[in-house]
Chain A
Amino acid sequence: MSRAYLGGKLLHALLTISAIMVLNFALFRILPGDPVRALLPRGIPAEQVAATRAHLGLDQPIFPDQFISYVAATASGDFGYSFQYRVPVTTLIVERAGPTVLLVGTASLLAIVIGIVIGTLAGARPGRWFDSVTVAASLVLYALPVFWLGMIAIMIFGQFGFPINGMLTPGFTPPDALAAIGDLAAHLFMPALVLALALIGQYALFMRSALVEVMTEDYIETARSKGLREEQVVIRHAVPNALLPTVTLIGINLGVIFAGAITLENVFGWPGLGSLIVSSVASRDYPVLQGAFLLIAVTVVAANLAADLVYGLLDPRVRG
């Protein structure tokens, strides 16, 4: 991989993140509403409201004062304090990112592996019953709203004692590490399954259509005429090329998955970034929103960067 290719991609990523940082600042302040009024009870004297405003730094002009201190602080890794939780945003986000990464990670891993396998099996022999069935199933899963799938899962699995809400059983002190993991896994089961189901269809469809397209290329015909077995043709020649769009999708999807996790976390009371964002929007908790959105933006940019780089590895032509 050439240094110019890598450098170009990195520069691009950095520029994107800087732009998002500026946008982040503006976006939440354009929203009508005053965090101080959201924070304090009614019936508070005006002096006290003003004092709170000053403590939060909101008495300063938005531009340039608030903007400059925001940029300076963010650049030095300081995201400020949450208005509503009154703890550093970094602490809060780290605390909440863990559960989301666990949920999204587990679900994505399941969905990517199963989706690619299904897509490969279907795309290798388009038009067969396996293909028809999986395409139909994938379309249905793809189209279903995540929260609805979540409610259905709760109705089915809730009966068997699967925990419906939260990440750990309240008040349960696990006797050993295994019990703790078990409790976590029991809580993770439903949301991860639902998110995975929602994603499998997409990956399967993508992989299938990419593979079908690749299979019509001349070089496949060449591979076949070299005397390779069909399995070798599919696995060694077709799949690597067909993976390219799917890898891109994985990158793009990370952002979308975070969004999907917002509704899902709400259904299952999963204490992740999604539920944090929901409650922060309601209370105009600018610092938390800025931090969380920046983190998500960085994740998406990093995932796309990674996808670009993997692309370079998979496909020599893009290495430049």
Chain B
Amino acid sequence: MATLELSRPRRRHGFIAALGLAILAMAVAPLGAALASSPSPAAGSPSAATGGGVTLRIGTSQKWSTLNPFIALLIADYQITSVSYDLLVAIGPDLKPAPGLAESWTHSSDGLTWTFKIRQGATWQDGQPVTAADVAFTYNYIIDSFKYKDGSFGLSLFRDNMAGITSVKATDPQTVVLVTDKPSATILSAPVPILPEHIWKAVSYEAASGTAKDVKAFDNASMVGSGPFHLVQEVKDQYVRFEANKQFWGGAPKIDQLIIQYFPDAGPMVEALKNGQIDMIDQVPTTVFESLTNFPGVTTIKGAPIGFYQVGMNSWVPKAGQVKAHADQGSLGNPWLTKVAVRQALFHAIDKASIVKTALLGYALPGDSLLPPSVPGHWSPAADQAFDFDPAKTRSLLEALGFQDTDGNGILNVPADSKAFDPKGAGKDFVLRLYIRKNQPAELTAGQIMVEGFKQAGVSVDLQVVEESPFLANSTFPSATNADSDLYLWGWGGFGPDPDLVLGRVAESSQINAWQDANYSNPDYDAMYAQQHGQLDETQRTAIVQKMQELFYKEGSYAVLWYPYRLQAYRSDRWQGIKTLPADGGVIFTSLAYGQFQTFLTAEPKVAAAVPGASAGPGQSPAPTGGGGAGTIVLVGLVVLVVVVVGAALLYRRRSRPELGD
């Protein structure tokens, strides 16, 4: 072969390389040219012109599901409605009821009649005045929805908040009178966004409840509220954009525009904060929180927990009317979990400290009762009441109930004489299923720690990773699946500071087939729930609320595992006037902050950073130069690429020459 090649000098290798280069250049050139020609505003200082003046950009890794406040489910949904709407009574910096659209309020001595004074000068974002009639309309719109077609289109999200309200009337443009049939302690804590009557009176219940067949059903894309920001653009699954409502009754925001951008992956979101493409992020992953804390120009926020994660134990004992399908089957959960003594034994097999340390990397507090420690009215068990991690105790408590390791495999066997109570399990190994949500690494680790603890106690756990929606939602819902679950790891959050909603939805009997997932039913608990609901005296109410927590801690169907810190971060080298809610130990971006209590009202760029290109100080993070810089980089990259390829081609030719002479 070599001899044949000898006579033919190879000139056209250069041609191949040139051809390749030409094609490559053609493919890349438009991209490079476009980049080089146009400075992109993607990054830059807060005042970078994006057509809307000073812009605050927030990154979030939870995707909002709707703009319609009646079907809002996720914290991300409430974060959108909370910047745009007002509540009648807002949540103040101390988490106590504070003026919202109502400037002040009083109730009659019997606690049945509430009178609200609506503030003067509040306007809707379309310019119309906000009056008492709008407030009355909003409440009546929800209350009447449960009468429409037998409640089949009821606005269920707020049903608990409306319980007991018999009438809501606007007696003059500035006064709303609300009457209840029994005293209610939760009147001031209803998270009901006040809606403009002139828009919502035309919205059908089918549309508002999100069940309309009509595709063009009301999506509330032209949201009109009375809050400090007006929604101007929604790009599904990408971002929502608000413009400042300069007429806001609480004063004009100092920024002109607010953008909430969705990042499907938290990793890139953190990078975007570091590079200054966004100014603030929510839900910082625990794995990067510490490094972000040390990043120049970034301030991290470790907000006190307002929610909890639990291992639920399916306690469903079917009652009349609860079984809608397969009435002959009864509960499909493990029957032993309906026994308080068994649940108490199992509580000792959970190593909460180790879960917090290993699964949460310490970014959580170990859990006990239903209310997190920072929420008013929290109760904690005394040292001698606590279910400490002690698998040997679990084993001895179970053995006292008749469980025995009869086959010597290390797993306790269900009592053989319990055929009537547990026909499927009697005599066999005690095995419980544990559902863990998919894509939740921390929960998976927590699950594995639990499996280990249960194993030491002689209980076998079958850990299954499942989809939260709809699998977990269904399996904890008796009328869908006959409550086909044993243990599951799940969480609650996003409640306001009032304990009523969480205490009710988690464990009150009437919430079975509604909000409950463990299907717990205890008449004592239900009675106390009703009592606290009607108790207007705060001290007395707190006493009942604490008793409920104690009861549920000792006999309930949850082991509350941990209270997660809320981790956020923002660019403190560029922004000032940032405040948290609650003022002490809270977070900056929260669905609890309405109206005048939002940080976006006071947030403003730092002066040094307002000049494009001016770094906030030596050693600070590099101020990105925007897409113009990006274009330059592309050009430089292209040149380097060309040089490398040409060089390689030349080298290749030179290398091949000596061979020619062989």
Identify the A interface with B (CB < 8 A): 32-35, 37-48, 51-52, 55, 81, 84-88, 106, 109-110, 113-114, 117, 120-121, 125, 128-130, 147, 150-151, 154-155, 157-167, 169-173, 178-179, 181-189, 192, 224-225, 229-232, 234-235, 265-269, 271, 275-276, 278-279, 282-284
Contacts and interface: CB of A to CB of B under 8 A. Distances in A.
Contact of B471 (A32, A39, A106): A32
A120 B219 contact: no
Contacts of A279: 63, 237
5 contacts: A48-B153, A163-B627, A171-B241, A186-B631, A267-B264
Contacts of B514: 42-44
Given A48-B209, A170-B261, A183-B40, A43 B268 contact: no
Contacts of A278: 264
Name the residue among A120, A166, A235 with the largest chain B CB count within 10 angstroms: A166
Contact of A181 (B11, B34, B212): B34
Nearest to A51: B152
Given A48-B156, A169-B42, A188-B31, A85 B241 contact: no
Interface string B3-40: 01100101111011101100110011011001101111
A164 B648 contact: no
Contact of A155 (B38, B156, B157, B271): B271
Contact of B233 (A121, A171, A181): A171
Which DSSP category, helix, strand, loop or mixed, fits chain B's interface? mixed
Contacts of B16: 117, 120-121, 231, 234-235
Contacts of B269: 165
A117 B237 CA distance: 38
Nearest to B469: A38
A227 B513 CA distance: 86
A110 B656 CA distance: 28
A46 B480 CA distance: 10
B633 A160 contact: yes
Given A81-B215, A182-B40, A161 B467 contact: no
Among all A-B residue pairs, the 10 with the closest Cβ atoms: A182-B38, A231-B12, A117-B20, A163-B42, A185-B34, A170-B239, A173-B51, A38-B470, A43-B514, A33-B470
Contacts of A48: 151-154, 156, 209, 211
Contacts of A269: 238, 261-265, 268
B122 interface: no
B434 to A, nearest CB: 17
A182 B23 contact: no
B362 interface: no
Interface residues of B, number: 107
Contacts of B630: 157, 160-163, 186, 189
A232 B52 CA distance: 60
A230 B5 contact: yes
B295 interface: no
Contacts of B209: 48
Contact of A282 (B219, B274, B469, B626): B469
Contacts of A81: 215
A86 B469 contact: no
A153 to B, nearest CB: 10
B543 interface: no
B387 to A, nearest CB: 28
B10 A171 contact: no
B338 interface: no
A37 B473 contact: yes
Name the residue among A34, A117, A161, A276 with the largest chain B CB count within 10 angstroms: A161
Given A33-B474, A48-B153, A121 B271 contact: no
